[in-house]
Structure 1
Amino acid sequence: MIFLLTIIGAALAVLIYNHDSGMSFGLQNADLAFLVKYGLLAAVIGAGVVGLHRNMGEMIKNLLIWAIIILGLSTGWLYQDQAKETVARIAGGLSPGRPVSITDENGIAVSIRKSMNGHFEAAGAVNGKAVNFLIDTGATSIALSHADAIEIGFSDADLNYSLIINTANGKAKAAPVRLDSVEVGSIVRTGVQAMVSEPGRLDQSLLGMNFISSLTAFEMRRDEVILRD
Structure 2
Amino acid sequence: MGEDWAQLIYYGLLLIFIGGALLFELSGRGSQGLRQIMLWGVIFAGATFAANLWLDRGTQQVISGGRVEIPVSRDNHFYLTAELNGTPVRFVVDTGATSIALGAEDARRIGIDPEDLAYIGTARTANGTVRTANVTIEEFAIGDIVDRNVPATVIGGELDGSLLGMSYLRRFARVSFEGDLMVLER
Scaled by the length of structure 1, the TM-score of the pair is 0.54
Structure 2 contact 57–74 (Cα < 8 Å) conserved: no
* Partner residue of 1:175 out of 123, 133, 152: 133
1:95 deviates by 5.2
Structure 1 contact 147–199 (Cα < 8 Å) conserved: no
1:124 deviates by 1.2
Letter paired with 1:96: G
Give secondary structure in 2 for the equivalent of 1:139: coil
Larger mean CA deviation between 184-193 and 127-136 belongs to 184-193
2:117 maps to 1:117: no
2:156 maps to 1:198: yes
Aligned residue in 2 for 1:161 = 119
Aligned residue in 1 for 2:106 = 148
Letter paired with 1:139: A
Matched residues in 2 for 1:174 and 1:139: separation?
A: 13
Cα distance change, pair 110–159 in 1 and its aligned pair in 2 (3 A): same
Cα distance change, pair 168–140 in 1 and its aligned pair in 2 (3 A): same
2:171 maps to 1:214: yes
* Partner residue of 2:62 out of 100, 118, 125: 100
Cα distance change, pair 204–156 in 1 and its aligned pair in 2 (3 A): closer
Aligned residue in 2 for 1:87 = none
Deviation >3 Å, runs of 4+: none
Greater percentage in helix: 1
1:199 deviates by 4.0
Cα distance change, pair 172–211 in 1 and its aligned pair in 2 (3 A): same
Structure 1 contact 99–184 (Cα < 8 Å) conserved: no
The alignment yields a C-alpha RMSD, in angstroms, of 1.9
Return the structure number with greater relative CO, CA threshold 8 A, min gap 6. 2
1:191 deviates by 0.8
Number of residue pairs matched?
132
